[in-house]
Amino acid sequence: MEFGMILILFVASIPTILAEDISYGTIVVDGTTSIAQTDDNFVCATIDWWPHDKCDYKQCPWHYTSAITLDLSHPILTKAIQAFNRLRIRIGGSLQDQVLYNVGNLKSPCHPFRKMKHGLFGFSKGCLQMKRWDELNHFFNATSVMLTFGLNALYGRHKIKGSLWGGEWDSSNAQDFIKYSISKGYQIDSWEYGNELSGNGVGAHVHADRYGKDLIHLKKIIKELYRGSQFEPSLVAPGGFFNQQWFTKLLQVSGSNVLDAISHHIYNLGAGSDPKLVSKILDPNHLNKVANTFINLARTVQTHGPWSSAWVGESGGAYNSGGPHVSDTFVNSFWYLDQLGMASKYQTKVYCRQTLIGGNYGLLNPQHMFQTPIITVHFYGIV
């Protein structure tokens, strides 16, 4: 079980707050040997698309924290991001592959997300207006954010059977969106393609060979549109749960130097409704189980895509918005610190915490932001 330096400091302080008859031990940190090296912007947080009426376990913890509705003028939000030298933010999530960009020759009506019985994840398609995209980029520029943006990988496709989607990806809307971003001078560090469509997917999935061909096509679009620019954004994918056969096929089909980073998601604590959530967080044996995912992904990348690096594109501990009164408390910091250490050990270059704000697992407490000047921050186990 790998813990960060701050946890070590916390452990070292325990004797001052516990009874006097405790047994003392010695912690030795060998700072002379390097185990692995992370990216300069290893720590990352996400902003999701979920609207305020996304509910789990009879509660609705998202409030107005989506990329579309988040109050970008709130000083606490600004100060929290600026506390980092340069924070990477990933905009993405379950509704990512239903987002339409209202720019260029959009072929579909562009309306806000609304609940829809037979829609993917119970919601309709949603719209990102360019006015809002402008606002987001002005905010990110002012706070020195390094942005990873997740593109819709289902546009133009249709459901074939069960959760399998097929047909050609229509890249026109994404291409118009990227063109607009370039014309405005927006600095996008990386474009990510799709969300949780790997393997059997979550809600929807696409075959790896088709996905790999899409990446080749998207890479060509990026290279063409950014030709002559001083900076070319990286291409990241697939932003889904690790399936060794699927990920291997993806790298084989897409080929060398197409995919710059291969991203996967981790929710190793299970459902947010699990009454044993705290026990899992405090159990080193349970936390260590996910090490196999890191090990196998590292081997897959080394064998089939050594030109690419491994990212954790989304990790919130417990899925379905996190665990009420657990994911939003200090105890969840033990899971987070362990994940940061483990990801680092196995050559993960970026680790994106779900979320910066929104759900029960947010690093910032939206209720405090919207009601009082008090805020709960869980960065690195600090509350």
Point out the catalytic residue in the list 2, 192, 224, 314: 314
More confident residue, 14 or 30: 30
Residue 121: pLDDT over 90: yes
The residue-averaged pLDDT of 127-142 equals 98
pLDDT for position 21: 59
Query: pLDDT-derived band of residue 25, with 50, 70 and 90 as boundaries?
Result: confident
pLDDT for position 29: 82
Judge whether 269 and 278 are in contact, CB under 8 Å: no
Find, among 92, 254, 49, 298, the residue nearest to 188 by Cα.
92
| Interatomic CA distance for residues 195 and 241, integer angstroms | 9
27-31, 127-131, 217-221: which range is least confident on average?
27-31
| Interatomic CA distance for residues 116 and 167, integer angstroms | 23
Instruction: Report the 3 state secondary structure along 50-90.
Output: CCCCCCECCECCCCCCCCCCCCCCCHHHHHHHHCCCCCEEE
pLDDT for position 30: 82
Domains of the chain: 43-381 (3.20.20.80)
Enumerate residues 6+ apart whose C-beta is below 8 A from 309: 39, 260, 261, 262, 301, 347, 349, 350
For residue 217, give the 3-state DSSP assignment.
helix
Strand segments (E) across 177-233: 190-193
pLDDT for position 85: 86
pLDDT (tens digit, 9 = 90+) per residue, 305-330?
Answer: 999 999 999 999 999 999 999 999 99
pLDDT for position 371: 54
Counting every residue, how long is the chain? 383
314 catalytic? Reply is yes
Helix 172-183 to helix 130-142 angle, to the nearest 10 degrees?
50
Strand duo 318-319 + 146-151: pairing = unpaired
Query: pLDDT-derived band of residue 5, with 50, 70 and 90 as boundaries?
Result: very low
pLDDT for position 63: 93
pLDDT (tens digit, 9 = 90+) per residue, 175-185?
Answer: 999 999 999 99
Find, among 84, 68, 88, 190, the residue nearest to 136 by Cα.
68
pLDDT (tens digit, 9 = 90+) per residue, 257-294?
Answer: 999 999 999 999 999 999 999 999 999 999 999 999 99
Residue 376: pLDDT over 50: no
Query: pLDDT-derived band of residue 11, with 50, 70 and 90 as boundaries?
Result: very low
Residue 17: pLDDT over 90: no
Return the structure tokens found at 285: 């044996």
pTM of this prediction exceeds 0.85: yes
Return the structure tokens found at 63: 């409030």
Residue 116: pLDDT over 50: yes
224 catalytic? Reply is no
User: b or e along 235-257 (b: 16 or more beta carbons within 10 Å of the residue's beta carbon)?
Assistant: bbbbbbbbbeebbbbbbebbeee
Point out the catalytic residue in the list 20, 192, 196, 232: 196
For residue 245, give the 3-state DSSP assignment.
helix
22-31, 159-168, 243-252, 303-312: which range is least confident on average?
22-31
Find, among 378, 374, 354, 377, the residue nearest to 62 by Cα.
354
- Please work out, in degrees rounded to the nearest 5, the angle formed at the alpha carbon of residue 254 by the alpha carbons of 248 and 259: 90
